[in-house]
A and B are shown apart, each in its own frame.
Chain A
Amino acid sequence: KAGVTQTPRYLIKTRGQQVTLSCSPISGHRSVSWYQQTPGQGLQFLFEYFSETQRNKGNFPGRFSGRQFSNSRSEMNVSTLELGDSALYLCASSSFPGQGIYEQYFGPGTRLTVT
């Protein structure tokens, strides 16, 4: 069974631009979560989607948004990029949303560098 895939793996953007990251979950998984990981803040939850609906959202500004398609693939968008948005963006998929003991499987991440 193929794992979680994220594209692109690396991205360099300049301040003020916008970016879209893509995540394809494991086949059959309907829940996709996004996380930002930086050396200073560690892993921080961005949002979670289940069956095309955002179920949960972390404490990030409105510049961060996402969506999920009917095939469970998800995209996240960051508008008006700032230097502080440079991070590893991780996507995780699971059968069901965050509650319970459902296993979360992480993708390799997209490394975003904002210059």
Chain B
Amino acid sequence: GQNIDQPTEMTATEGAIVQINCTYQTSGFNGLFWYQQHAGEAPTFLSYNVLDGLEEKGRFSSFLSRSKGYSYLLLKELQMKDSASYLCAVQRTDKLIFGTGTRLQVFP
């Protein structure tokens, strides 16, 4: 496979912070995307990183370390509507290669 690894499931409490990790093979890397997918719906874009560092967008932030082949998505002030799957995807030339996704359940 393409060796993009992320945890299968995570749980968290409303109002908390959760970090979802993603590791990948560094060959042919052109950027890393995070998508959110609610059950029965299409994936929607959350963030993009191509340089090392943190990208912040409201309650969501994404971090990238190219040398380590590592990224994380940080979700703050969790809300019930954040219960969804979070997909890490690596861009390689014309294509995105997706990880299997992390299913996040937020409890009251």
A binds B: no
Where the two chains meet, the residues of B that have a C-beta atom closer than 8 Å to any C-beta of A are none
Where the two chains meet, the residues of A that have a C-beta atom closer than 8 Å to any C-beta of B are none
